[in-house]
Structure 1
């Protein structure tokens, strides 16, 4: 037992003499103690303090953002060991001056970077809280948040360089004046996007969820994200088009928000009528058309008006006498059909008009608004109306106009081939 005590005492004496004769051992021991204290402080901050803070936050209205808050607090907790190392390095004996300066500068740079990352997380949290507001989609702040991050990391870069060089940051800022032109060139897109974001936000040009159309960029769909540099549009084929923000200011685009907010979508389509089929109606045709529920009142009123006009001007049976036309009666039928249709808005513009005739026939345009903005329902309403009009057109003695097809030429050729020889010669 006594021998073991002598051995232990001898070992302690050797270590003591070693610490006295070898200063680097003292420095290593002090560094080990300092790092151990920093590790313990970091463990306490993350395992005890951070968990306690998160549990308290879960009981508040910030429960949804606990993860983001936890990330911010976790980053801030990394500052504690850096501060311990920065202050404790001065207590380490036998370190050269340059090593002290280097460690302090590195700790300062780490603290600055950690603060910048925490501020970036705080800006993300601010954006999340703002998006919970009912009017967040109308005026998004994601572009301003990204601008704030850009400023934070820009200032962080300057401060870190100044800390590592052990110089004042004002010295670096004074040299930025000469680099202003270069910086403007490098950040040209950012500056343009910033101005565009301000204009878009202040003028309420687009919102998340808007349907916009930019044919020059093959963009036709819903806006799903508005950022500082880009606007993402999900096209109807589920592809994503990324448009630079400044191009929404420099170039034209169509926003369908007004249509969606009005509650109705416009129907504007023409039927091309063969002009050779336009003529006056006979008495028998008028009688037949009077059986149509939508035309009964119109024909009765129109015949009385025409009869009175012709009698008053003494032109009954004359070539100048007014008579009903098949195209005019058909137009009245379309107007009555639209007025009676349950899916056509009656509080919006509704008309049926003739456009200028041309080489493709006489366009009869329908201009009305459906009572829905849902795409599939709108197409069904429009198709049902035109299906009926195309099918009922021959009842008015009218024909559609279209370019001759191979079937038309074949039908005409067969008719000529089947004609009697005498008829062919007569022709």
Structure 2
């Protein structure tokens, strides 16, 4: 290259060009020639590398090389050769322009750092895409880890770039940077908080991709579709997207339904409110009518015999119904609910099944059904729960009970 530059310079002077003009024309011609060579080298190497990867993809069974091409890793690698050529030839082209040579050296070194960061980014994106295809890592916050590595890479790259541009040694630059740490913390507050939160979320396994979470503060109720360094994206059940700051998962309270999803059943916890004035002891005629309910027949026969023996042994005066032991219509109804739930095909019999009485309220007496549906899918869960309460609401009158309902205008008209 040095011989060519001298030859051009000498030829220009031989044809009568002045010394200064010969220097400038020699530099311009060499710059144009170098530019064309670099473009040609870049094009050829890019074609060679891309074709090589194409053959590798056709033979390979893994998707990793596909992701390398998709994230432009081969193209970025192809740019290395032109930069090295330019770095080696600049001293020969600009030997008569030392200041310009120094500036161009810095530009190429900075561009080399940027190219290195591009290659690192494409490799990290490739790893991210590949890891997401692995079953064991599908629900992990891969985006957060990749972003952390990218932030460190860009941070180190920027430090080196500033060191090259300013001509200051790296350790001196870092010392000066330490004095501005307060400003840096203020500027990158959200990033730092997100980084710390991402680590805590990952270590404590608080949220995974695919989890159903409810976050009332942010109006989120749906599935987590993305976790990255600064935000968590939730696709709500109405198909809208809610974006939540990652550090909010640490600082605020939210509900993760993963435990329910992993459990053997989905909880049903709902109450029927009965009028207290409809509650009474069961008379003989009512008892005979209730015995015709097949689920209750064995229970009532056994219970009737136990109560009768107890009252006779203790010589209870049954001319007054309240004396001694008695059945109540609400007690029989609770037993019916319990038997009905234990015989329902949609209820998981291995988990808790309970019909319990809650504290009376101004509206009436709540009878709460506490059980678990065997099918956890939302639509099937709702169907099972509706099927149970359809039946129980219709069964209330058979026990001479009344459900509570606030009066409407038609009630007042009557």
Is this a same-fold pair by TM over 0.5?
A: yes
Q: CA shift at 1:33, angstroms?
A: 2.6
1:337-376 to structure 2, matched below 5 A, reads 337-376=340-379
Larger Rg belongs to: 1
2:173 aligned with 1:172, yes or no? yes
CA offsets per residue over residues 306-365 of structure 1, 9 Å max, x none?
A: 011101111051531222211111111111110110111110011111111121101011
2:405 aligned with 1:402, yes or no? yes
Partner of residue 161, structure 2? 160
The 8 Å contact of residues 38 and 84 in structure 1, kept in 2 or not, is answered as yes
Q: For residues 28 and 143 of structure 1, what CA distance do their matches in structure 2 show? A: 48
Q: For residues 277 and 296 of structure 1, what CA distance do their matches in structure 2 show? A: 23
The 8 Å contact of residues 201 and 207 in structure 2, kept in 1 or not, is answered as yes
Q: CA shift at 1:230, angstroms?
A: 0.6
Partner of residue 383, structure 2? 380
Partner of residue 253, structure 1? 254
Q: CA shift at 1:391, angstroms?
A: 1.1
Partner of residue 208, structure 2? 207
Q: For residues 359 and 153 of structure 2, what CA distance do their matches in structure 1 show? A: 63
Partner of residue 89, structure 1? 90
Q: CA shift at 1:376, angstroms?
A: 0.8
Partner of residue 41, structure 2? 41
Q: For residues 57 and 163 of structure 1, what CA distance do their matches in structure 2 show? A: 39
Q: Judging changes above 3 Å, is the alpha-carbon distance between structure 1 residues 301 and 405 closer, same or farther for their aligned structure 2 residues?
A: same
Partner of residue 56, structure 2? 56
RMSD over aligned CA atoms reads 1.9
CA offsets per residue over residues 46-69 of structure 1, 9 Å max, x none?
A: 122332233224322344542534
CA offsets per residue over residues 357-382 of structure 1, 9 Å max, x none?
A: 12110101111111011111111111
Could you list the runs of 5+ residues in structure 1 that have no partner in the other structure?
A: 1-12, 412-427
Q: Judging changes above 3 Å, is the alpha-carbon distance between structure 1 residues 384 and 14 closer, same or farther for their aligned structure 2 residues?
A: closer
Alignment size in residue pairs: 400
Q: CA shift at 1:76, angstroms?
A: 2.0
TM-score by length of 2: 0.92
The 8 Å contact of residues 358 and 368 in structure 2, kept in 1 or not, is answered as yes
1:9-88 to structure 2, matched below 5 A, reads 16-18=14-16, 21=19, 22-63=22-63, 65-69=65-69, 71-88=72-89
The 8 Å contact of residues 23 and 96 in structure 2, kept in 1 or not, is answered as no
1:180-195 to structure 2, matched below 5 A, reads 180-195=181-196
TM-score by length of 1: 0.89
Aligned partner of 1:321 among 304, 307, 324: 324
2:387 aligned with 1:389, yes or no? no
Q: CA shift at 1:19, angstroms?
A: 5.5
The 8 Å contact of residues 23 and 94 in structure 1, kept in 2 or not, is answered as no
Could you list the runs of 5+ residues in structure 2 that have no partner in the other structure?
A: 1-10
318-327 vs 38-47, which moves further: 318-327
